[in-house]
Structure 1
């Protein structure tokens, strides 16, 4: 990696895609519409898509030579056990001073997003994570919030805020200095999701900043996505495995940071466990007073449906069947 590169590239956009034929054009166009006073490159990793995504990427590569730089696999890497595609394939080829994240089924909505985040990080070199709110673009039927808005108002984020957060950050909002992922720690490789360990690295290296402005969109319900695929098969077992892997990640992170963020780490680990209980509807644990802090963090809508299912399972089942068909 060339963190402070000898090129004139300021930003490397990191995009990971798999079978996103219906969405990848919007993602690429949203990157290309950015109004900046600097150069940027678009690094796209296609994990051997079978729906024609690769052909679209080749089309954009020809239209924007040297700008859109796809890496199109012939064999699916995720199925080979590589969870964090970005760290394995895109980060090492990034030439920019900063890396911006966005999966191929998400997109940006503000043409000034990149410039705003770069301006902040250039003015505040100690900032190692710059994020913002995101609107939710729903695919199909689901009960969800209208946006990912972890905070009300612009906010400086302490390392503890980043590690022990009550609400997730949209990956499509994330930007950070490329130098922090030049050498990836063990907990990054062990993590089953790609955005969480980046946030951990950022928290260990500096602080964060949040713009309370929805400058990107997060699609919910896309077929083949990590979230949708995770709900197939033995969901309870998958959630249990996920928690055990995350527990290991948190332990490794605690060791890597010398215990200075231990209180935040343990709270985050406990929250992860609690959310797997919510996801698998283990009501004894969900309503356990020990986890009241995390219960109160759930949205009012989520709490309503938990109580409805727990107290009136027949009514809940009827309404769910009627809504989902």
Structure 2
């Protein structure tokens, strides 16, 4: 795949108590949307054209994804469709040439690609949910699709399938699907899939709230009305995907496609997952769990207890998974957590048990494996 646009046009013909920085960002929604039409020295943006017939607004967030953003955009543009889309990109002051790649693609598709290219990083100022602060307010489509700049769509009919379902099911507010998992070099991670369910099906609101397996962010397609007014629990949450699922649950039913129509890159440098691994890992994990509990409690309050049981169960699962991540075996093997332990794969349960019973042997084997990987890279 080329980082820069190819000569041929691959697009089908189109037819018709908050964090203060986060709070300020959301209040600036209308200003940011206006800024997309009137660039300042803080950003570059491209005005919307013929916005009235755009059906899908694809929101892309990127930071130092220079190696991947071209592939991401290429696969969005290759979607087989008979409707118009716009691609709203927010680059958070990348320093690796990502903005040059984005600009090259924008020049090729000026009526589709509409970037904000920051010169000052917003995430470092406390604005953690970039999509909500800067992309959602600019969206004009009936539907909003999401992806990070280091992921990409691998099925040319992805949008077509999701839009067709939602057009014929007006009570459905959200569709999503499974994804392939690859490493930084694009190799499949043990053939892994991010696969929340084992068959394509309707997902009831309570199920979406209390979901055992995460969903690929690049699989999300929501009705725009769901993200037009962002609740406190979205603004303050350390991640953007989970509160969006709660917002979708509050709207109504969802639909899951058991098809890997996107690719998730695991362990990318500078990713949220990698930053969680640095510094005081245990403290970061505990703070994350506390923030997620706060999100569930606020959602429970906002929905007047409609999802109370699901929220409590989901919060307990977060506590359990935090214990898994920090290897708190006392919590992992509590009787009350047996159901959550069974939700893990056989592979994960085996190695957790192995480390618990033979910690020194486990650590020794890990060191050997790490040394072997390092040697292979050399």
TM-score normalised by the chain length of structure 1: 0.97
State the partner residue of 2:166: 121
Q: What is the distance in 1 between the residues matched to 2:339 and 2:220?
A: 27
Map 1:1-325; keep pairs closer than 5 Å.
7-139=52-184, 146-325=192-371
SS in 2 for 1:110: coil
Q: List per-residue Cα deviations over 1:180-207 (Å, max 9, x = no partner).
A: 1111111111111001111000000111
* Secondary structure, counterpart of 2:262 in structure 1: strand
**Superposition RMSD on alpha carbons, in Å?**
1.6
1:115 match: secondary structure? helix
Structure 1: give runs of 5+ residues left out of the alignment.
none
Q: SS of the counterpart of 2:88? A: strand
CA–CA distance in structure 2, aligned partners of residues 275 and 202 of structure 1: 23
For residues 274-300 of structure 1, what are the alpha-carbon distances to aligned partners after superposition, in whole Å with 9 as ceiling and x for unaligned?
Answer: 111110000110111111111100111
Change (3 A) 1:312 1:234: same
Gaps of 5+ in 2: 1-29, 34-49, 372-378
Counterparts of 1:249 and 1:185 in 2: how far apart (Å)? 10
The offset of 1:139, in angstroms, is 2.4
- CA deviations on 1:232-282 (whole Å, 9 max, x unpaired) are 000000011111111111111000111011000001111111111110000
Q: What are the Cα deviations for residues 72-91 of structure 1, in whole angstroms up to 9, with x where unaligned?
A: 11111111001100000000
Distance 1:143 1:113 in 2: 22
Quote how far apart the aligned CAs of 1:144 are. 6.2
Larger relative contact order (CA 8 Å, sep ≥ 6): 1
Q: Measure, in 1, the Cα distance between the counterparts of 2:258 and 2:193.
A: 11
CA shift for structure 1 position 33: 0.3
Partner SS, residue 52 of structure 2? coil
Distance 2:107 2:252 in 1: 39
Q: Which has the larger radius of gyration?
A: 2
